[in-house]
Structure 1
Amino acid sequence: MIKRIEKCYLKDIELLQKVSIETFNDTFKDQNTAENMEAYLLKAYNLKKLEEELKITSSEFYFIYVNDNIAGYLKVNVDDAQSEQMGSEYFEVERIYIRKDYQNKGLGKDLFEKVLSLAIVHGKKRIWLGVWEENKKAIKFYEKLGFTQTGAHSFYMGDDEQTDLIMTKVLN
């Protein structure tokens, strides 16, 4: 299995949209109504919104490839691009998704290694992310990586207000 991680650019927007919708839908469709899923996907992953996100210099997207196939992606934010204003020492992991056929192959850890290197390059002392309180698999994954819950915030899936746990990892 040959793996590589590459930065995603505006030219990749349609692939990014496809993988984003697929992975989000696969992850959350069974716990949410079809109406709320559709509303969220249309809002979060339309091409105009993704184009705006790709143009923000304090945000970066990365694809992870396995044997030349996109297996997942990552979105990170620094400074003013963070979805919550956590301060200048924080580095945000906004999205980290692996396609269903590629899960449980260590790719999440590979993406997290990329996160660590990016946080260090940016001179950050802490990494944070939000994870839905019902996504027990992801919470366990983050805890294994050294994250602890430090707060919570609201996340809207259509008209359904949900709670995301804010988890933080202090870098050594």
Structure 2
Amino acid sequence: MTPVLRPATLADADTLADIGQRSFAETFGHLYRPEDLAIFLESHRRAQWEAELADPGFIVAIAEIDGEAAGYAKLAPPKLPIAVREPAIELRQFYVLSGWQGSGLAARMMDWVIATARERGARDIHLSVFVDNHRARRFYERYGFERVGTYAFMVGGHEDEDDIMRLTLDG
């Protein structure tokens, strides 16, 4: 049961869409009206993934265990509403399917995120996390991420409060 992280390709678009939809719905689906959840999950469709995987600004690693997709991490240019020190990178999505949570996979993925950000010359990594997702916040804090702001994260017509967190890589 050794996790393998590899660069995602266009051939992975359906798998990434499935992981994104399943992971978000497993973790947060109970918080939203079905119509709001359905609108949000539209951002996890094959066409969206194909566009992002074709964009050189996006870097995606898919995690597999024994050949089974278990999660992914997506890095991209910053778009969160916060001033950044350039060059910077944003961890846009970090999803591990529930069956693999607590297995050490997330730590392996975060090591990849930090190493990749450094390879790209980023001074900082930014991410957002739902204020009530305490498990994820603790995970990010263990790596040195600090809260630097908040913003409204939309799930359909529902507004959530997310914390914006930053990990400084250059000092």
TM-score by length of 2: 0.92
Give 1:157's aligned residue. Answer: 155
Displacement over 6 Å in runs of 4+: none
One-letter identity of the residue aligned with 2:6: E
Q: What is the aligned-residue RMSD (CA, Å)?
A: 1.3
Aligned position for 1:5: 5
Q: Is the 8 A contact 2:58 2:74 kept in 1?
A: yes
Greater mean alpha carbon deviation, residues 9-18 or residues 86-95: 86-95
2:74 matched to which residue of 1? 75
Residue aligning to 1:23: 23
Structure 2 Cα separation of the partners of residues 143 and 39 of structure 1? 30
- Number of matched residues? 168
Equivalent in the alignment of 2:60? 61
Mapping of 1:117-132 within 5 angstroms? 117-132=115-130
Asked if 1 retains the 8 angstrom alpha-carbon contact of 2:63 and 2:109, the reply is yes
How far apart, in 1, do the equivalents of 2:109 and 2:79 lie?
A: 20
Structure 2 distance, partners of 1:64, 1:11, is 14
Task: Give the SS at the match of 2:152.
Answer: strand
Deviation at 1:87? Answer: 4.2
Q: Secondary structure at the match of 2:16?
A: helix
1:91-102 maps to which residues of 2 (within 5 A)? 91-102=89-100
Matched letter for residue 7 of structure 2: K
Q: Corresponding residue for 1:137?
A: 135
What's the CA shift for 1:113?
A: 0.3
Could you say which residue in structure 2 is the equivalent of 1:106? 104
One-letter code aligned to 2:24:
F
Residues 62-91 of structure 1 deviation map (CA, whole Å, 9 limit, x = unaligned): 1111111111111001xxx32236342322
How far does residue 8 in structure 1 lie from its aligned partner after superposition?
0.6
Give the fraction of aligned pairs with identical amino acids, expressed as a percent: 25
User: How far has the Cα of 1:35 moved from its partner?
Assistant: 1.6
Is the contact made by 2:85 and 2:123 (CA closer than 8 Å) also made in structure 1?
Answer: no
